Amino acid sequence: MGKPTDSSVDRRGFIKQAVTGTAALTSMSSVAAAQATAPQPPASNPQENTSRESDVLTQGTSGSDYMLDVMKSLSLDYVCLNPGSSFRGLHESVVNYGGNRAPEMITCCHEESSVAMAHGYFKIEGKPLAVFAHGTVGLQHAAMAIYNAYCDRVPVYIVLGNTLDATMRQQGFEWMHSVQDAAAMVRDYVKWDDTPASLPHFGESAVRAYKIAMTPPFGPVVIVADTELQELPIPEHLNLRVPKLTLASPPQGDSGAVAELARLLVAATSPVLVADKLARTPAGMQHLIELAELLQAAVISQNGRMNFPSHHPLNQTMRSEAVVADADMILALEATNIFGVVNAFRDQLHRTSRPLTKAGVKLASITAGDLYLKSNYQDFQRYPEVDLAIAADAEATLPSLIETVKRLITDDRRRAYQERGARLAAASRTALDRARADAGYAWDSTPISTARAAAELWAHIRTEDWSLVSSAVGPSSAGWSAWPLRLWKFEKSYHHIGSTGAAGIGYGAPATVGAALANRKYGRLSVSIQNDGDLMYGPGALWTAAHHKIPLLIIMNNNRAYHEEVMHLQRMSSRRNRGVDRAGVGTTLDGPAIDFAKLAQGLGVDAQGPISTPADLGPAIKRAIEVVKRGEPALVDVVMQPR
Amino acid sequence: MTTTNATGSMAHQQIRSTEKPHRVRATMLLAIVVGALAWPPRANPQSPPPGNAEEGRQLFVRKGCYQCHGREGQGSPTTGPRLGPEPLPLAAFVRLVRTPRAQMPPYTEKVVSDSELADIRAFLETRPRAATIDALVPK
C-alpha cells in the first residue's frame, strides 16, 4: 500500500494552513469580543417606531405636499404616470392636496408612454410635463423614451420614487424596487439628476432641475423623491419655502463671431441655410423666414422642428443636394448632422462617402450642442469641419444676426439677391409641380399608395386648424415617405412636431397622444400617421387617449411589417447573393394580420378598417373626423404600400 | 406559378421544366412558328423589349423590388425612384440592377436572371400613367 496522496499535506502546506487557520480563529475571536463589548441596541430599532408614542396613525402634514407645492410653482400642467408604490405619497398629494389640477394626472399604461407623452406635449406647448415612476422597474421601462427626449433636446421632468433607507423597506418587493443610485441607469442621457436628502434639499433641487432642463440645449432631468421624505410629516423645525425660479436666458452668439458670419452670408453668391432643431418656439420660424428673405437664400429644413413653411419659394428641401452642390456658404442652425448635409454616404459592401459641395465652400454653425456633449452615447454624429462655429442657441442668436446682415446689405447686393430669389422660387415651383405629378402614379393601386393616402387625408384636413402630431420626416415610413411635406402646406409652428430624437420605436403612439393633449385646449384637429409596428410597442396609449378624452385622428400606416428592417434584410441578402425571398422572416407583422380596428375598439377608441381600397379611404376619414370633433380619438386602419 | 428560394432564378427554371411534355411541345412549336414569322429580325426601335408583363408583376413582388419602389413601381421620395411606365432601355435597366450607383443593393444573375429582369421591365412598361390629383390637392 502506498502513501496516501489525496489527503496528504506536505510540510509547507501544513504550516501555511495552520497559520491561516489560526489567524482566522484569532480574527473571529476578536470580532466576537468586539461585538460583545459594543453597546447593545435595544430589542428593536427606535426608528422602527414601536413605542406607544409612535402608534399615532395619522398625520397633519406630509413631505409630499411640500414636494407638490414646489412642482406647482413650476407650472407643470400634467403628470403622466403608471401608478407605483414608491411614489404613493406624491400620488396622494396630487389627487387630494393638489385637487388633481396643475398638475393633473394622466394615467399611462407604461412608463415609456409616460415619457413619450411628455415629449410630444412639449413639442406643441413648449413646456415640460412631469412624469412619476418607480426608481427601478419604472425607470427601466422609461429608459428608451428618455433617450429619445435626450437626443431630441426635449425637457421632461421625471420624479422617481425610491426608499434609500434599507431599514424602512418592507420585506419583499420593496427591496427589489429600491436602488442605491436610482438615476445612475440613465445618467448618460439626462441633463441633470439629484437625490435630495431632505425636504429643503428637494425644494432647491426640484427648482434647479427645471431651470437646467429649460436652458438650451434642453434635456430631460431626474429628481429622486425618497419615500420617507414623501410620506412622513414635515418636521416642525423646518421652515420650508418654495425657492424662486429664474430661467436662464438662452446663450447668444459672441458679437464678433456674429458679425463675421453676417459678412460671409452677405458676400456669398449662393448661401444655404440648413435648419434642424432650430425653432424651439414659434419665434424661431419667423426669424428664419426673415433671414432667408433678407438674403433671398435657399433654406433646407431637416425637419427636427417646424422650421420653415413647406411651400415658401425659398424652401429648397426637395432639391437639397442641388443647392448644397451650388453653395459657396452654408450655415447650419442647430443641425447635429452637418457632415450628412455636405456629404453623400453610400451603404454598400464598402461604406463610402463623397463630398456634395464644391471646393472652397464656407461652412458655419450655430448650435447649443457645442456647449453640451456627453461621451458614451454617440448621438453627436461625425465631427463637423466648419470654418466658423458659434457655440450658442441659434434661435436666440438669429435676431442679432439679422440686424447685422441688414446693416451690411448694399443696394447692389439687394438686386443680386432678388435675381437669386427668383431663380430659387422657380426651381421650388418646378419641384413642387413634379411632386404633384409623381403623386398621381399608382393612384388606384391596392394596397393604397402612400401618396394617395396623403392626398386623401389632406383633402379632409386642409380647411381645418390641423396639426400633424406624428413625425413627418425621417428614413422610416413615418410620414408616408414624406408625401405630406410635398403635398400639404405646412405653415404654422404647430403644423408638425418634428422628429423622434433617437428613432426609438414606441415613441409614436404616446407622443402623438401627448401632442394632441397639448392641442386640445386650442381646439386644433390633431392628426397622426401611426405606424403599425410602433403601435404594437405601446397600444395602451390608445386607452389613455380614450380615458382622458383626447381628440386625435389616427390614420394607421399599416404596411404589416417593420419595413425598414425588411429593406435591411434585403440589402444583406443581396450583398451575399442569397436571394431576397426570405427578407420577411422576422421582419413582418402578418399571419395573422393585426386587426387594429378591433384592437382600438377594445381600448375604447372609435375605429374603422382595415381599409385597402383607395375609394373607401376618404369616407372613412370623414367619419372619423366627425368623431374627433366630438372630443374623442378615432382610428382608421389603412392597409398601405410599404413606401 | 414559380416560387423562389435563395437561388431564385434557378428555381424559376426548374419549375418551368416540370411542365407537362405535351405543353412543352406545343410551346416549342409556337415558338418556332413565331420565330419563323419574325425572321430575319428587324432593328425596330419601336418594338418592345422581350418580357412577360404578368410574370414581371409577380417577380416585382417576389424579388422585393416593390419594397423600395412601390407595388406599381411608382417610386418613393425616400427610398427609390419611379421605374414605370417608361422604364430604362433593357440593357441599361439590367446594368443598373447589377451595378447600382447609389444605395440600391446589387442584384446578381444568381438572384435575378436577365430574363426575369426583362419580365419585370415589361411589367413596368404596362403601368398606368399618373392620375391628376388636382381634385384632392388644389394648387
Of B78, B130, B133, the CB nearest to A481: B78
Predicted confidence (pLDDT) at residue B41 exceeds the cutoff of 50: no
Neighbours of A578 (CB within 10 A): 16
**Cα A447 to Cα A639: distance, rounded to the nearest angstrom:** 6
A442/B70 Cβ within 8 A: yes
* Lowest-pLDDT range of B27-36, B54-63, B107-116: B27-36
Percentage with pLDDT > 90 across chain B = 58
pLDDT of residue B16: 29
Q: What 3-state DSSP class applies to A300?
A: strand
DSSP state at residue A95: I
Residues 6+ apart with CB under 8 A from B135: none
Q: Judge whether A583 is closer than 8 Å to chain B, CB to CB.
A: yes
A190: number of Cβ within 10 Å: 23
A104-107 long-range contacts, CB within 8 A, separation 24+:
A104/A77, A104/A78, A104/A79, A105/A78, A105/A79, A105/A81, A106/A78, A106/A79, A106/A80, A106/A81, A106/A517, A106/A544, A106/A548, A107/A81, A107/A82, A107/A83, A107/A544, A107/A547, A107/A548
More confident residue, A381 or B9: A381
C-alpha cell belonging to residue B70: 412601390
Could A445 and B79 be called an inter-chain contact, meaning their C-beta atoms sit closer than 8 Å? no
Say how many CB pairs under 8 Å bridge A and B.
Answer: 134
Rounded Cα distance between A118 and A78, Å, is: 9
Q: Facing residues of A222 across strands?
A: A158, A193
Interface test with A, best of B7, B13, B14, B78 (most A CBs within 10 A): B78
- Asked if A341 is an interface residue toward chain B (Cβ–Cβ < 8 A), one would say no
Query: Pick from B120, B71, B28: which is nearest to A640 by CA?
Result: B71
- Contact of A463 with chain B, judged by CB distance below 8 Å, is answered with no
| Sign of the C-alpha dihedral computed for residues A206, A209, A214 and A218 taken in this order | negative
Are A92 and A83 in contact by the 8 Å Cβ rule? The answer is no
Which of B132, B133, B134, B139 should one mutate to test binding to chain A, selecting the residue with the greatest count of A CBs within 10 A? B133
Helix (H) or strand (E) holding B29: helix B21-38
DSSP A419-473: HHHHHHHHHHHHHHHHHHHHHTTTTT-SSBPHHHHHHHHHHHHTTS-EEE-S---
Nearest to A490, CA basis, from A317, A284, A309, A299: A309
pLDDT of residue B9: 30
- In one letter, which amino acid is A309? P
CB-CB contact of A297 with A265 (8 Å): yes
| HSE-CB of A435 using CA atoms within 13 angstroms | 28
- Distance (Å, rounded) from C-alpha A216 to C-alpha A260? 23
DSSP state of A527: E
- Minimal CA–CA distance to B12: which of B103, B111, B99? B111
Q: Is residue B22 predicted with pLDDT exceeding 90?
A: no
For B20, other C-beta atoms within 10 Å of its C-beta total: 8
- Give burial (CB, 10 Å; 0-12/13-18/19+) of A581: buried
Peptide bond into B49 cis (omega under 30): no
Residues of chain A with pLDDT under 50: 1-15, 18-21, 475-477
The crossing angle, in degrees rounded to 10, of helices A394-408 and A255-267 is: 60
- Minimal CA–CA distance to A329: which of A372, A298, A375, A374? A298
Candidate from B62, B103, B128 with C-beta closest to A581? B62
Q: Where are the beta strands (DSSP E) in A169-213?
A: 192-194
Rg of chain A over CA atoms, in angstroms? 30
pLDDT tens digits along A8-57: 444 444 445 544 445 555 556 777 777 677 766 555 555 555 555 567 89
Which of A485, A580, A588, A621 to probe the B interface (max B CBs under 10 A)? A580
CA pair distance A293, B49, nearest whole angstrom:
51
Distance from CA of A343 to the nearest CA of B (A): 13
DSSP helix/strand/coil, A212: helix
pTM of the model: 0.89
CA gap A512, A529 in Å, rounded: 9
Where residue B23 falls among pLDDT bands split at 50, 70, 90? very low
Rg, C-alpha atoms of chain B: 17
The predicted pLDDT at position A187 comes to: 98
Say yes or no: A571 contacts chain B, CB-CB below 8 A: yes
Looking at the complex, does the CB of residue A438 fall below 8 Å from at least one CB of chain B?
yes
Of all residues in chain B, the one with the smallest CA distance to A476 is: B78
Query: Is the separation of the CB atoms in B78 and A450 below 8 Å?
Result: no
Hey, is the C-beta of A173 within 8 angstroms of any chain B C-beta?
no
Cβ–Cβ gap A458/B136 under 8 Å: yes
Model confidence at B47: pLDDT above 70: no
Residues of B in contact with A439 (CB under 8 A): 130, 133, 137
Can you spell out the DSSP letters for B30-89? HHHHHHHHHPSP---TTSPPS--HHHHHHHHHHTTTHHHH-TTS--BTTTB----SSPPP
The mean pLDDT of B84-113, rounded to a whole number, is 95
